[in-house]
Amino acid sequence: MSSVPERSEVDPADKWDLESIYASDDDWEAAYEAVEDRIEDLESYEGRAVEDAETLLDALACHEEVMREVAMVASYARMRSDEDTTDQRYQALSARAQSLAAEAQSTGSYLEPEIQSLTREEFEAMCEVEPNLETYDHYVDDVLRMKPHTRSAEVEALLADLGEVTGATGDVYSMLSDADMTFPDVEDSDGEAVELTQSNFTTLLKRPDREFRRRVHETYFDEWGDVRNTVASAYKNSVKSDVKLARARNYDTARAAALDGPNVPVSVYDTLVETVNDNLGALHRHAELKRDALELDELRMWDLYMPLTGDEGPDLSYEEATDHVVEAVAPLGEEYQSRVAEGLDSRWVDVYENEGKRSGAYSGGTYDTQPFILMNYQDDVSSMYTLAHELGHSMHSELASESQPYVYSGYEIFVAEVASTVNEALLTNHLLSTVEDEAFRRHVVNEFLERVRSTLFRQTLFAEFEHETHRLEEEGEALTADRLDELYGDLKGRYYEPAAVDDRIAREWMRIPHFYRAFYVYQYSTGIVAALAIADGIEEDGEARAADYREFLRSGSREYPLELLRIAGVDMDSAEPIERAIGSYEDRIADLESLLDA
């Protein structure tokens, strides 16, 4: 029987270095109290923030200082909580930090409405008096752009104060899925009991024993079936919250509200969905190849994650994975590569799964800290790719924070998923150019295909699902568990037409935490499209395109997302990059067909 260790049993060298933020919880408490007091300073500018240029600059500086300190307090508490979601002490710290962040946001919510009382000409006149305000030119442009959807200072304060409540459904879902849900063991072909968890579910679906995969699939989704009404209620209310908040800000739809934040046209979303649907034949070809390679009469849902090579992939230790990733990013320049290596040696990464640890992976940290990466490394090719992915996020944050003032150091999710997926594409190129072992090469091509399948096609399916759920809510239709199953099952059947869709897979929507951050997932799809175009450009043109890409990373949020991608040489206003990415996918399918024939 497999065993997941307790947090205390994990080697400190394999844990992230949160002590670099606060040496102890007592230091965190001191920082919490200090920033709590600073919030009063922020409040002192309310009603007079734009009375003159000097006051506006001071108000903006105070707002930044408070938010930077709050971010550190909140980041530490959240990551401590994610180490073990059953640890009530850190759950309490995280809850307090969320309340503090909500208080700070509520207190500072007057700032943008007051800036919106200015005209563009009035702000430019202030810049002549106080030149340091010019730093905020793009920020003010963005604030003024949102004026039709910004309410009075009083209403903005109320909406900010309600942030904890409107986001509560996501917290409920997280506690249910990560802390409270457990799964029965599944017996393997040797009669051994195998532990099933949120983190290892898809890994177990890669086992060669098809009957074992079926039992894993059924056991996992049967447990979700037992909580389907609870999850449906949580998701229904999350969608309601999205719709009501959009209406409160004078948007026609929740989708329009979500995409207007980063200034991405709704047409980009529609072009993605339409282009992917026009090219589902590529996905169907992949599914048919999988059916034939695995010698199956019928492809079932528990076969989708099985490698096309028909056996388990190579075991890759974490150390081997880090070596491959560091070598793979060499085309991005010596400085980029050395920074990645240094980060891996400096405990950026919390490597392995432990009891109660949050599932999945993410890159975190703040403007004033090093990056931090949560992993649940499983000694396989997929985990190596996940590491490369999260390091892309971390390096994006590092370069943007170094090059930009705090106001532009963040970046929209629309561009964030580009950096992560460029690393994945470079890893594929590196492995195929250096690895001679044919079995390993087959697994690399398979991993590329699975990444495109699960990112471009699967996330677009998700995007269709949440667009439809929000549309139904906006039209007054009840989002029951049965309706959600029906909607998701229909989409799954269309996308995976060559496979048999069972009742259990119709519940898959229940296991997707990203749905509690509305209209987020489509950006994985656009991200991989842009990333493949960038990686191809670097492969073709070398350092010139790599330099453009590094400039894109360093730009943070100084421009709007589509303009930033143009720096890197990609135009996401058109279907061309999507069609090109699908073409690359089909080329790799052909490569694998040849490798399998050989």
Contact at 8 Å (CB) between 280 and 585? no
Torsion of Cα atoms, 420 then 422 then 425 then 426, to 10°: -110
Tell how strand 499-500 and strand 299-300 pair up: parallel
E-strand ranges in 191-263 read 193-194
Backbone φ, ψ for residue 512 (5° rounding): -100, 100
**C-alpha dist (Å) from residue 54 to 60, 67, 404, 567:** 10, 20, 22, 34
CA distance 293 to 149: 53
Map tokens 């519940």 to a residue: 507
Residue 13 exposed, middle or buried by CB count within 10 Å (0-12, 13-18, 19+): exposed
390 is catalytic: yes
Provide the β-strand partners of residue 299: 499
Contact 386, 203 (CB under 8 A): no
Q: How far is CA 101 from its chain centroid? A: 21
414 within 8 A of 557, measured Cβ to Cβ: no
d(CA 132, CA 136): 8
Active-site choice (156, 353, 390, 450) = 390
**Contact criterion met (CB below 8 Å) for 598 and 591:** no
The DSSP call for residue 199 is T
DSSP secondary structure, 48-70, as one string: TTTSSHHHHHHHHHHHHHHHHHH
Residues 6 or more apart in contact with residue 130 via CB below 8 angstroms: 53, 54, 56, 57
Q: Where are the beta strands (DSSP E) in 2-119?
A: none
DSSP-assigned letters across all residues of 68-90: HHHHHHHHHHHHHHHH-TT-HHH
- φ, ψ for residue 377, nearest 5 deg: -60, 135
Residues 6+ apart with CB under 8 A from 367: 68, 71, 401, 406, 409
Query: Rg of the chain's alpha carbons, rounded to an integer?
Result: 24
Catalytic residues: 390
